[in-house]
Amino acid sequence: MERLKSTTVVAIRHEGQVAIGADGQATLGNTIAKSSVNKIRKLQGGKIVTGFAGSTADAFTLLEKFEEKLGAYSNNMKRAAVELAKDWRTDRMLSKLEAMMIVADEMDILILSGTGDVIEPDLGIATIGSGSMYAQAAARAMKKYAPQLTAEEMVRESLSIAADICIYTNHNLIIEKVNG
């Protein structure tokens, strides 16, 4: 069976703002299965925003588990992320899930993976998915050469550049800002 491939997710912290966005494409083999998937979720009234890449069902399972961890650890995003990553790596059912997540609040941006990684990226830029390296290169250039842009504008441009290059990324973008 062909595997579902998808996406590019970008989070950027710039000038006290945090924005996270993703494209809307899900691809099955060499066919676009859907062009308007929402891969961004706001939690706690927008104080935490998440983005996911990989299997949608797996990502929703991880999102539910992350919300449980937030509740268990008094909405401490970093602690909840570490505890989710531990469970994801060691739990028999969770360890089979194929997805990655970016979680962001006004203080931190973190990348979570099923190998137990909780990565706080350099330069306030986090990217995951098939177009992540294109988006990361674009975001780094904008932070250096176009610092007048907002975090939201940088996310939009990074995703747009990735969509121009990566066949698994489209221009149907959803971008959310983290509420402080």
Are the beta carbons of 29 and 163 closer than 8 angstroms?
Answer: no
Query: Does 166 appear as a known binding residue?
Result: yes
Does 150 carry a binding-site annotation?
Answer: no
| Nearest Cα to Cα of residue 135 among 112, 164, 161, 104 | 161
> Amino acid letter at 110?
L
90 flagged as catalytic: no
User: By the 8 A CB rule, do 111 and 128 touch?
Assistant: yes
Q: Where are the beta strands (DSSP E) in 15-133?
A: 17-22, 26-28, 31-34, 40-43, 48-54, 99-104, 109-112, 118-119, 125-129
Cα gap 175→40, rounded to integer Å: 8
Task: Measure the CA–CA gap between 72 and 6, rounded to whole angstroms.
Answer: 31
Rounded CA separation 38/24 (Å): 6
Among 7, 27, 56, 127, the one annotated catalytic: 7
Is 59 within any annotated ligand binding site?
A: no
Task: Name the residues annotated as catalytic.
Answer: 7
Residue set of the binding site: 163, 166, 169
Residues flagged as binding site for Na(+) = 163, 166, 169
